[in-house]
Amino acid sequence: MLTGKHLIAGDWVAGATTFASTPAHGPAQDFAVGTPALVDQACRAAAAAFPAFAATSRDTRADFLDAIADEIEARAEAITEIGSRETGLPAARLQGERGRTTGQLRLFAAHIRAGDYLDRRHDAALPDRQPLPRPDLRMIQRPIGPVAVFGASNFPLAFSVAGGDTASALAAGCPVVVKGHSAHPGTGEIVAQAIVAAIQSCNLPAGIFSLVQGGKRDVGEALVQHPAIRAVGFTGSLGGGRALFDLCAARPDPIPFFGELGSVNPMFLLPAALAARTEALAKGWAASLTMGAGQFCTNPGIAVVIDGPDAEAFAAAARTALEPAVAQTMLTDGMASAYRAGRDRMAAGAGVRALLTTHCDGRSATPNLFEVDAADWLADHRLAEEVFGPLGLILRVRDAAEMQAIAESLQGQLTCTLHLDDADTALGQTLLPILERKAGRILANGFPTGVEVADSMVHGGPYPASTNFGATSVGTLSIRRWLRPVCYQNLPEALLPADLR
């Protein structure tokens, strides 16, 4: 049952005003509107709960994460029903995303039980060392404090209320204050119910988790500027993320802002691979472009090919593969409108040629395909900007040297992909040192839609893909965002953190 309220440190709190949800189908519901005063209340509660939560054992926090996963699964049918209604995503997609969400929670539970993330180091005292003795030095990673998390629009579960940012922060021992996304407030509330149930069953402080729904820009600004907040996790647009990043940097005490801001995820189709697998590559690209109406930050929006007969055949095959695609419902009316604006911007670019132009209205999206020559693409930076939706751009280059120039010109990306055969190895060796400076993940002979939750995964990259090139928002390494190293010199055993004794 939905309350339409905020969750503030264990209490369901109504607001003075409400907003109506905008579901893809079914009736709208009213939810309380967040305010800076509610943010302050949640952040103060998080700060009060932090010392006790940071002192809990790894086993206690791991049991808590497992309990959240159990509580989410206990609400599986309700989550799927309201999630589908609010977002328009099919039930199968939401069921898979729910599994990813609970899988992340259980992965972090196992990760902190193992303890390797603590990076414990010990340099024993050398009292007889000359010319000076060495003190006893011990180092460990410690939680930084309350974390602000912004729910993402395109992943109502895996990047939202109990998503990767929340899971990794709680695993580290950091309380979390979530700014829920207004595109799926009901889904967010049910997940929050699961978290508060786990808090109660594990007998943990209520202040370690709060959810503030809706609200205008002042709510997000109040959250990132609150003195109790020590770091921010964000997944969303470049404009919104950059504004919050600047606020974090302008604080009297600047804090890290870990923003994942999107990417065009270019693919480089090398000559031998393109000649050998033209149709298969085109079909695979079309499937990746249209998956989930193209609403993935890893959507491969650009295919770089060397001009010639194989490029012509690839363009024709891609168009053939995209033409039968049916309209899909986008997550919000605003996203659908932005997709159409991006399509029109692309179509108006100098030298851009339309291969497939479709028309859609309302909240629906259909694929579009364009092509452009390298010189025109390099001359217009707008052609390198992300279009969030099922739109593809074929970028034709004259030769391998111009393909290398395209790679050099790229801004930061979440992913870059090389499609290559054995005969392409030399060109691949030339491109790889460039691409590894541009992206957090480099693929060979695959498509980047689909981010494995695993120890080795990196979901981040140089700006503007993300605001911190040394971090990832997926995988167990993401816990390092909410930790800082502390060195203890000559401390008595009784004063050391339990994990250092």
Residues forming the active site: 260, 297
- 401 three-state secondary structure: helix
| CA–CA distance, 162 with 158 (Å, rounded to integer) | 7
Check if the beta carbon of residue 364 is closer than 8 Å to that of residue 25.
no
End-to-end Cα separation, the chain, in angstroms = 46
Q: How far lies 480's CA from each of 15, 107, 170, 174, in Å?
A: 35, 15, 12, 12
Nearest to 64 by CA among 150, 159, 162: 162
Nearest to 150 by CA among 128, 131, 169, 135: 169
Q: Which residues of 45-71 are buried (b: 16+ CB within 10 A; e: fewer)?
A: bbbbbbeebbebebeebbbbbbbbbbb
Beta strand 368-373 pairing with 364-365: unpaired
Q: How far lies 213's CA from each of 100, 334, 442, in Å?
A: 23, 18, 36
Beta strand 439-444 pairing with 413-419: parallel
| CA–CA distance, 305 with 339 (Å, rounded to integer) | 25
Nearest to 450 by CA among 407, 411, 414, 410: 414
What torsion, rounded to 10 degrees, do the Cα atoms 373, 374, 377, 383 define?
80
- Please tell me the total number of residues recorded for the chain in this structure: 501
Nearest to 223 by CA among 37, 475, 18, 435: 37
| CA–CA distance, 120 with 88 (Å, rounded to integer) | 46
Strand blocks (E) in 24-135:
30-32, 121-123
